[in-house]
Amino acid sequence: MTDETTHALAFTPEDLPNGKSFLKPHRVALILIAVAVIVAVAVLMRWDWLPRYLPRLGWGILVSMVMLFSTSILGFLFAVPLGLVQVTGPWYLKGLARIFCTIIRGTPLLLQLWLLYYGLGSLFPQFPAIRQSFLWPYLREAWPYGVAALTISFAAYEGEVMRGAFAGVPAGELEAARAYGMSRWTMFRRIWLPRAIHRALPTLNGETVLQLKSTPLVATITVVDVYAVISKVRQETFLTYEPLLLLALIYLCLTGILVVAFRYFENRIPTRGA
Amino acid sequence: MQKEHEVAMAADSIINWSLLSLSAPGWGGVLLQGFFNSIQIAVGGYALGLLLGVGGAFGKLYGGPVTRDLLECYTTIVRAVPELVLILLLYYAGTDLLNQLLGAVGFGTVDISGLIAGIFVIGVVQGAYSTEVLRGAIKAVPAGQIEAARAYGMSPGKVLRRVTLPAMLPYAIPGLANLWLIATKDTALLAVVGFSELTLMTRQAAGATKAYLLFFCAAGALYLALTLVSNIFIGALEKHARRGFVEQR
């Protein structure tokens, strides 16, 4: 997936409005209309259920965030070798990494999630060795399967990005490192990896927002994230729109916070010229 | 001994190929029907998304300030909120609104087919994505080409048809190809609203027979086949669109 496509799918720091030219006459009018709509929604729709569910919603948001950050970090750790192997590895590792990325990127995440949860989940109990192992209490829960599926998915998409980033580091820089007598590992640690991450950073931000947009899928395997809490609200109150609108607003805010944080970090990384 | 027996039984229950047969006791036919539904929705939703995208991209680039801001809101919301949430919202809101509209006109309520609702939902989501892809592609067309067309006295519609659209295609095709692949995978999310596409059918087949791994792997193979076949066409299309470009490297 190219940088532009990621940008088309996910809200990224470039989309944030800049403060100078934001307020114009027509925008003031639009904002007033938006405020009127929000007030109408708040007054005319039913929100009396909200206080009762606030603590659970808070927990749900926390679970979603833990899912997002743990799987992004784990996925990135897998993505680095996946990308590196495709650029410089021996042919069999190259082939394996390519097949892995193709399969994961070619099938829906929901299907992978259900394959792991229902498929492996139904297979594991048939092996007494697994049932007696220390892992069994965890394997009976839903969240390890959610973490595994999201991590694998992120690793595959990010692996492609890292492959491009590793390949795109100018050969001259690596030759210079070698000329200084750096060992392969030092060269990788000091030059190749930092430069590749720097190149991949904008896409990485977009992929992380995409990962946030994928987290609600874990609710379909009974992990209680914010989406699952809202589903519970819908079942118990028989309301259709109010909980879903609130959920959309929550995700909008989470994405906004994430993107603002990314812009802050992007601005701190020095770049030369344009 | 017992352990070996259980492992053998497990292996036996993983691969019972007759479950995939096309006729009644097997579930192959059901899966293929679901796959067909998925493809229908993907094609319909992608086409609707392209229409919205062309309109959206031109509105964003050449529209008035209010149009631009409203389109910005549309693309921002779709790109910041999970597809799953959007699909639920659009699914309920879309069918509700249509029924209220029909009720107001005096037709009474209709049962909106899952296919139409699915195409609508996927189309609206894809519309925002293609707006962004096409906007980027149009901006990549050298401004001089469009200015030259205007200088020849072409009307805006003619400039669009003769210059902007053909000239932006090579820039747009990689992104649009990715969007097609995403559309095929996003149809799986409709399983959550109960539409009988491939993923939901697979889950039902797996639940009924307890052969989870077999069915989920079979469905994965179908999705993967769709992606790989699409990739062949995409490669040919990209090559065709980039003819006349200076090859890089």
Residue in B88, B89, B219 closest to A111 by CB? B219
From B53's Cα to the closest Cα of chain A, the distance in A is 11
Residue B11 lies in a domain: no
Helix (H, G, I), strand (E, B) or coil at A129: helix
Enter the DSSP assignment of B189.
G
In this prediction, residue B116 carries a pLDDT of 87
Question: Closest chain B residue to A28 measured between Cα atoms?
Answer: B66
Contact B133 A5 (CB under 8 A): yes
Chains A, B: CB contacts under 8 A, how many? Answer: 160
Read off the pLDDT of each residue in A50-78 and give the average, rounded to a whole number. 94
Read off the pLDDT of each residue in A124-130 and give the average, rounded to a whole number. 81
A214 contacts on B by Cβ (under 8 Å): 82
Mutate which: B5, B71, B88, vs A, most A CBs within 10 A: B88
Which position has the token pair 């996925």?
A75
Distance, in Å, from the CA atom of B1 to the CA atom of A258, rounded to the nearest integer, reads 55
From A182's Cα to the closest Cα of chain B, the distance in A is 29
A170 confidence band (pLDDT: 50, 70, 90): very high
In this prediction, residue A216 carries a pLDDT of 94
From B80's Cα to the closest Cα of chain A, the distance in A is 5
Residue B200 lies in a domain: yes
B182 to chain A, any CB pair closer than 8 A? The answer is yes
Distance, in Å, from the CA atom of A200 to the CA atom of A213, rounded to the nearest integer, reads 20
A26 contacts on B by Cβ (under 8 Å): 65-66, 69
Decide if pLDDT at A34 tops 80: yes
In this prediction, residue B249 carries a pLDDT of 45
B84 to chain A, any CB pair closer than 8 A? The answer is yes
B76 contacts on A by Cβ (under 8 Å): 11, 15
Helix (H, G, I), strand (E, B) or coil at B245: coil
How much is the ipTM here?
Answer: 0.87
Mean pLDDT computed over every residue of chain A: 89
Contact A251 B80 (CB under 8 A): yes
User: Using an 8 Å Cβ cutoff, are A245 and B89 in contact?
Assistant: yes
Q: How many domains does chain B have?
A: 1
Residue in B9, B136, B224 closest to A107 by CB? B224
User: Using an 8 Å Cβ cutoff, are B92 and A241 in contact?
Assistant: yes
Mean pLDDT lowest for which of A183-197, A229-243, B87-101, B176-190?
A: B87-101
Residue B249 lies in a domain: no
Decide if pLDDT at A274 tops 50: no
Distance, in Å, from the CA atom of A218 to the CA atom of B14, rounded to the nearest integer, reads 25
User: Using an 8 Å Cβ cutoff, are B200 and A228 in contact?
Assistant: no
B99 to chain A, any CB pair closer than 8 A? The answer is no
Distance, in Å, from the CA atom of A122 to the CA atom of A117, rounded to the nearest integer, reads 8
Question: Closest chain B residue to A118 measured between Cα atoms?
Answer: B212
A220 contacts on B by Cβ (under 8 Å): 192
A208 vs A53, A65, A204, A266, CA distance in Å?
28, 12, 6, 14
From B123's Cα to the closest Cα of chain A, the distance in A is 14
A216 contacts on B by Cβ (under 8 Å): 82, 84-85
Contact B80 A109 (CB under 8 A): no
Q: What does the pLDDT look like over B6-37, one tens digit per residue?
A: 555 555 555 677 777 766 677 888 899 999 99
* pLDDT tens across the length of chain B (249 residues): 455 555 555 555 556 777 777 666 778 888 999 999 999 999 999 999 999 999 999 999 888 888 999 999 999 999 999 999 999 898 888 888 888 888 888 776 667 778 888 899 999 999 999 999 999 999 989 989 989 999 999 988 899 889 988 889 888 998 999 999 999 999 999 998 888 889 999 988 888 888 888 889 999 999 999 999 999 999 998 888 888 777 654
Which position has the token pair 């946030």?
A212
A34 vs A31, A39, B3, B59, B131, CA distance in Å?
5, 9, 66, 20, 23
Contact B203 A118 (CB under 8 A): yes
Distance, in Å, from the CA atom of A4 to the CA atom of B26, rounded to the nearest integer, reads 44
**Of A103, A60, A50, which Cα lies nearest the Cα of A246?**
A50
Contact A115 B85 (CB under 8 A): no
A76 confidence band (pLDDT: 50, 70, 90): very high
A272 confidence band (pLDDT: 50, 70, 90): low
Cβ partners under 8 Å of residue B104, min gap 6: none
Residue in B175, B213, B220 closest to A2 by CB? B175
Helix (H, G, I), strand (E, B) or coil at A134: coil
Distance, in Å, from the CA atom of B175 to the CA atom of B130, rounded to the nearest integer, reads 8
CA dihedral over A248, A252, A255, A261, signed as positive or negative = negative
Mutate which: B41, B74, B79, B222, vs A, most A CBs within 10 A: B79
CATH fold for the domain made of A3-268: MetI-like fold (1.10.3720)
A209 contacts on B by Cβ (under 8 Å): 79-80
Decide if pLDDT at A87 tops 80: yes
B222 vs A180, B36, B219, CA distance in Å?
51, 11, 5
Contact A103 B66 (CB under 8 A): no
Decide if pLDDT at A16 tops 60: yes
> Can you give the residue ranges of every domain in chain A?
3-268
Question: Closest chain B residue to A250 measured between Cα atoms?
Answer: B81
The amino acid at residue A261 is: A
The region that residue B153 occupies, defined by phi over 0 for left and psi between -120 and 50 for alpha, beta otherwise, is: left
Residue in B10, B179, B192 closest to A123 by CB? B10
Contact A107 B182 (CB under 8 A): no
Cβ partners under 8 Å of residue A273, min gap 6: none
Distance, in Å, from the CA atom of B65 to the CA atom of B69, rounded to the nearest integer, reads 6
* Host domain of residue B125: 28-241
Contact B76 A102 (CB under 8 A): no
User: Using an 8 Å Cβ cutoff, are A231 and A219 in contact?
Assistant: yes
Mean pLDDT lowest for which of A208-222, A255-269, B8-22, B72-86?
A: B8-22
B37 to chain A, any CB pair closer than 8 A? The answer is no
In this prediction, residue A19 carries a pLDDT of 67
In this prediction, residue B248 carries a pLDDT of 55
Which residues of chain B from 119 to 148 reach within 8 Å of chain A, CB to CB? 129-130, 132-133, 136
